Structure 1
Amino acid sequence: MAPIPTSREGYHFKADTIHEGLYTEAAIESTKSPKPFYDVIVIGSGFTGLTAARDLSTAGKSVLLIEARDRIGGRTWATRSRGHYMEMGGTWVYWTQPHVWSELKRYGLDRELKQTTGTSGDLEVLQFKSRGSDPLKEYSFDGPGGYNVIMETAIYKFLDVDGAGGTKILARPYDRDFVRNIPLKFMKLTCKDRLDQLPELPQEHKDLIASMFETIGCASIDKTPFFEILRWFGLSGFTFRGWLASVDELSLKRGTTSLALAIMDESRADIVLSSPVASVIRSRTEPLTTITTRTGKVFRTTKVICTLPVNCLGDVSFDPPISPLKLAAAREQHLTKIVKVHTYTSEKLVPTFVSSLSPSKIPFGYTESDVHDSKEGGGTFSVFFGSESELDRCTPLATFRELKKILPSEFNNEKRNPKFNPKEMFWHDWTNDEFAKGAWCTFPMGWQENYLDALREDEQGGSCIFANADWADGWRGFIDGAFEMGRSSAWRVLKEERNANRASKL
């Protein structure tokens, strides 16, 4: 019998007992006999690395993926319980995300999608707390004075810094030259600054949109850049409904791991897992780079694609050294510091979405999927995002116990889900994850204008390309941004060789 694929990552909490490690189909086997030299070595097997390795290897290049984890997928992977796939990291896909959608079409997965119950059309009300200690308030979604009407009106005013709802300022969000020329004054605004410029908005409406903006980076509005919000809405068509659909509506039935496995199945690249890179050293006498892992494995290549997340750029020794600005960004860290928690309740829950303003132990959460197979016990899976700074983080067990204590108050009220009581919890602690040090990337104030160009620069004389969703042109921090960067980095390697071959024939 084949062993059950399991990662050492993640935790399962049940009956006041914690179990380390979770089932995942992403825990594949390493190549048995990797070679000492490859045309290209890709550091990291998140979607950026997987895509780059696939495109290069299917174009005839010998490629090695070196992965620190015991699984593929990076900040995107899924586990399973009671027939339900739970995304422990990145989740959402939608046709407004062009790169990921083309990948889904490529593998026939565009027909393997599901709708999250807590963000679906079945959702009748939003539950909201102005502050963590406040009672829950309910807002109906539709009709006059409903949540959708409030949000569409208020967000248009929020984005309208140009008399056109933001559409002139960010007319071409993928064009880095266009974005570079956006007036600096808009980069200097926090979300709070912008809300303070709108005295005509009722405070209640400001609190509602502030709570939504705080879900973008799980940070307070005085730390969240206005430009980050403008970017997300610009990529979604500058509407509230378009934004909701783009960022929290559809996910893969069998998890994002099904997409990662489809890419690996097509790829001809070799892979070594559980092999964190220690150093990347470029020879000063010949076009050769030596990569050494922490366990002493040594591989050589002429070209490197480094897909390390921004928060981890300082964890590998580069010689020649990489840009001081890359290292400064790694020291400062991006905003999103959370734990992602899935809960299982034996009771079937009414579709629910809840959010609250910071400081809050649970910034937001929602019902995700009902268990329809009676043999699996019925019930509902839900998802919550826990604040790193507010929860008891002394031990994983302490965190689980606190979550079990406070989660009922997030969903319970007399009319809706009065018996919310999580029987099991599954989580990934992204903040204390050594190879991520945070969840999806949300830029802090100052990063757009001070660090972005440096993060995108090649290093070591152009032999080392840096590619990651954290500095994508489009959906930064999303699966789509990872595909954008993986494709473009592979194409650059192939184009460089093609141009060199043409020049040699002249």
Structure 2
Amino acid sequence: MSEAGHSASGEADYDAIVVGAGFAGAVAARELAAQGRRVLVLEARDRIGGRTMVGTFMGRRIELGGAGVHWVQPHLFAEMQRYGFGFHEAPLANLDKAYMMLSDGRVLDVPPDTFDREYNAAFDRFCARSRELFPRPYAPLDNPEVLALDAVSAHEHLHSLGLNELQRASMNAELTLYGGAPTTELSYPSFVKFHALASWDTYTFTDSEKRYHVAGGTHALCEAILADARADVRLGAEVASVAQGEAGVVLTLASGARFSASIAVLTLPTKVYPDVAFEPPLSAEKQRFIENAEMCDGAELYVHVRQNLGNTFAFCDDPNPFNAIQTFAYGPELGTLLKITLGRQSLIDIEDIDAVAAEIRKVHHDAEVLSIAPYNWARDRFTKTAWSSYRKGWFSQYKAMAAPEGRLLFAGSATADGWHEYIDGAVESGIRAAREARRFFENPG
């Protein structure tokens, strides 16, 4: 290859290079290949899947990243239908016990029916205007009032509702989990949009976030999509720089290898963009979004407890580090596997088994922790944040991150119109980027 990144004949190596082999990248690659394009996928990790990741713990498959799926998430559901994947149901219904840890550390043992009723009442109150604000949820900024309300934090709105102690604590725990930050930072309307996407229905929303996973695992679905692309895929290929000019784009890896194409589709998590040198630089609007918009300090953790605790769920209000603790599996011989989701991993060392055990015993007093399986997305150098959440004032700016710049197209869940904290948002964004690519090739001028 010449210094310009083209072959001796002057032709680019590929029509399109996709950076990232998560769901956004896999879908973009497949759609580009369906257009007849020569596609290269560059993935910095030694695996595909991005911020979804499947592992094993106590002989069971576990999801250590994005996992929640539902049929009201149309892009992902279509992919599951296309490749023959069904739903696996988590044991969230028919709880034996429900707990609420308040911000001061007190733990309430709440009858499950009461817990559901009070949480649902809080959620309904918080999202009471969802249909009014988002009559068409996939056009979330069409209502001018949404732009004005973006400056309102989730905390400010929550504390204006006159909720009781249990309602306020359970809703604040949920919001902390979604924001991956104190609720004083989270954009109020960015969360309400999820309620609108779930058919303006609290029960459906709750099912979409906690109850259903992909049968066979998210990794298998991502593999099926990427296999359909028949693209060249290179793992361990960390992109160091991206240069674009009139003839095309040249991507240089940390190893020094160089590849050229007519266009590039970038699906990096937002906070990773500063690790790549762009020539010319990205727009000022994108740079401001990258610096300010996202904040999620989240992580995932599985814990094996000797005792059979039954089917339980607990919300823990901020600043308690474990926002949601739910039974993943249980039985007389197994004991209990707990799945824990943290919005603010910086509040605890999730690799310290003693610290983890001490937190669990605040809810399950006699629990004997035998082993743990943590994954810290906020400290992963190829993500730097967990799920995509918007700081107040920045939800209204997400389209700046999604906008094409010359021969560069941008995808990833943070750029989605719809379910931006979910796999569905990543799939949606990959479809959009491929559509933008089609327009570029039809009219490259």
- TM-score normalized with structure 2 length: 0.91
Name the aligned partner's letter for residue 379 of structure 1. G
SS at match of 2:132: coil
1:247-287 CA-partner distances (Å, limit 9, x unpaired): 1110123321111111122221011111110000112xx42
SS at match of 2:347: coil
Q: Shift of residue 88 of structure 1?
A: 1.0
2:381 maps to which residue?
434
Computed over aligned residues only, the root mean square deviation of the Cα atoms, in angstroms, reads: 2.2
1:128 maps to which residue?
100
Partner Cα separation in structure 2 for residue 238 and residue 147 of structure 1: 21
Partner Cα separation in structure 2 for residue 439 and residue 332 of structure 1: 15
1:222 pairs with one of 184, 189, 192 = 184
Q: Given that residues 132 and 361 in structure 1 are in contact (C-alpha distance below 8 angstroms), is that contact kept between their aligned partners in structure 2?
A: no
Q: Shift of residue 204 of structure 1?
A: 3.5
**1:115 partnered with 2:92:** no
Name the aligned partner's letter for residue 190 of structure 1. S
Q: Shift of residue 208 of structure 1?
A: 2.6
Q: Given that residues 36 and 298 in structure 1 are in contact (C-alpha distance below 8 angstroms), is that contact kept between their aligned partners in structure 2?
A: no
1:210-250 CA-partner distances (Å, limit 9, x unpaired): 22222212322222221122111111122221110111110
2:130 maps to which residue?
166
2:153 pairs with one of 186, 190, 212 = 190
**1:356 partnered with 2:320:** no
Q: Given that residues 126 and 353 in structure 1 are in contact (C-alpha distance below 8 angstroms), is that contact kept between their aligned partners in structure 2?
A: yes
1:57 maps to which residue?
33
Partner Cα separation in structure 2 for residue 166 and residue 405 of structure 1: 39
Which runs of 5 or more residues in structure 2 are unaligned? Answer: 1-10
Name the aligned partner's letter for residue 411 of structure 1. H
Q: Given that residues 128 and 356 in structure 1 are in contact (C-alpha distance below 8 angstroms), is that contact kept between their aligned partners in structure 2?
A: yes
SS at match of 1:475: coil
**1:269 partnered with 2:244:** no
Query: Structure 1 pair 148/410, CA: closer, same or farther in 2 (3 Å)?
Result: closer
Once superposed, which parts of structure 1, at least 4 consecutive aligned residues long, lie more than 6 Å away?
A: none
1:168-208 CA-partner distances (Å, limit 9, x unpaired): 111111015514x2354322221222233223x32342223
1:401 maps to which residue?
354
SS at match of 1:369: strand
Partner Cα separation in structure 2 for residue 57 and residue 281 of structure 1: 23
1:304-346 CA-partner distances (Å, limit 9, x unpaired): 1000111112111111110123223333362320231111234
Q: Given that residues 123 and 351 in structure 1 are in contact (C-alpha distance below 8 angstroms), is that contact kept between their aligned partners in structure 2?
A: yes
Partner Cα separation in structure 1 for residue 216 and residue 304 of structure 2: 18
1:141 pairs with one of 112, 124, 136 = 112
1:32 maps to which residue?
none
Partner Cα separation in structure 2 for residue 275 and residue 482 of structure 1: 21
Name the aligned partner's letter for residue 342 of structure 1. Y
Partner Cα separation in structure 1 for residue 73 and residue 146 of structure 2: 26
Matches within 5 A, 1:152-301: 152-160=120-128, 165-176=129-140, 178-179=142-143, 181-199=144-162, 201-283=163-245, 286-301=246-261
2:300 pairs with one of 334, 340, 356 = 340
Q: Given that residues 219 and 358 in structure 1 are in contact (C-alpha distance below 8 angstroms), is that contact kept between their aligned partners in structure 2?
A: no
Report the count of equivalent residues. 434
2:55 maps to which residue?
79
2:6 maps to which residue?
none
Name the aligned partner's letter for residue 112 of structure 2. F
Partner Cα separation in structure 2 for residue 300 and residue 360 of structure 1: 48
Name the aligned partner's letter for residue 98 of structure 2. L
Q: Shift of residue 488 of structure 1?
A: 1.6
SS at match of 2:131: coil
1:391-415 CA-partner distances (Å, limit 9, x unpaired): 148xx4xx33321333232333xxx
SS at match of 2:375: strand
Q: Given that residues 302 and 374 in structure 2 are in contact (C-alpha distance below 8 angstroms), is that contact kept between their aligned partners in structure 1?
A: yes
1:390 maps to which residue?
347
Which runs of 5 or more residues in structure 1 are unaligned? Answer: 1-34, 413-417
Q: Given that residues 151 and 240 in structure 1 are in contact (C-alpha distance below 8 angstroms), is that contact kept between their aligned partners in structure 2?
A: no
Partner Cα separation in structure 1 for residue 215 and residue 57 of structure 2: 13
Partner Cα separation in structure 1 for residue 44 and residue 441 of structure 2: 29
Partner Cα separation in structure 2 for residue 489 and residue 97 of structure 1: 19
Partner Cα separation in structure 2 for residue 281 and residue 400 of structure 1: 45
Partner Cα separation in structure 1 for residue 441 and residue 80 of structure 2: 29
1:93 maps to which residue?
69
Partner Cα separation in structure 1 for residue 58 and residue 112 of structure 2: 31
SS at match of 1:109: coil
Partner Cα separation in structure 2 for residue 421 and residue 114 of structure 1: 28
Query: Structure 1 pair 259/278, CA: closer, same or farther in 2 (3 Å)?
Result: same
1:47 pairs with one of 13, 23, 44 = 23
Partner Cα separation in structure 1 for residue 257 and residue 12 of structure 2: 9
Partner Cα separation in structure 1 for residue 288 and residue 247 of structure 2: 28
Partner Cα separation in structure 1 for residue 158 and residue 413 of structure 2: 29
Q: Shift of residue 50 of structure 1?
A: 0.6
Q: Shift of residue 348 of structure 1?
A: 3.1
Partner Cα separation in structure 1 for residue 418 and residue 296 of structure 2: 18
Name the aligned partner's letter for residue 142 of structure 2. F
Q: Shift of residue 492 of structure 1?
A: 2.2
SS at match of 2:300: strand
- TM-score normalized with structure 1 length: 0.81
Partner Cα separation in structure 1 for residue 104 and residue 272 of structure 2: 32
Name the aligned partner's letter for residue 454 of structure 1. A
Partner Cα separation in structure 2 for residue 240 and residue 125 of structure 1: 21
1:411 maps to which residue?
364
Partner Cα separation in structure 1 for residue 293 and residue 151 of structure 2: 19
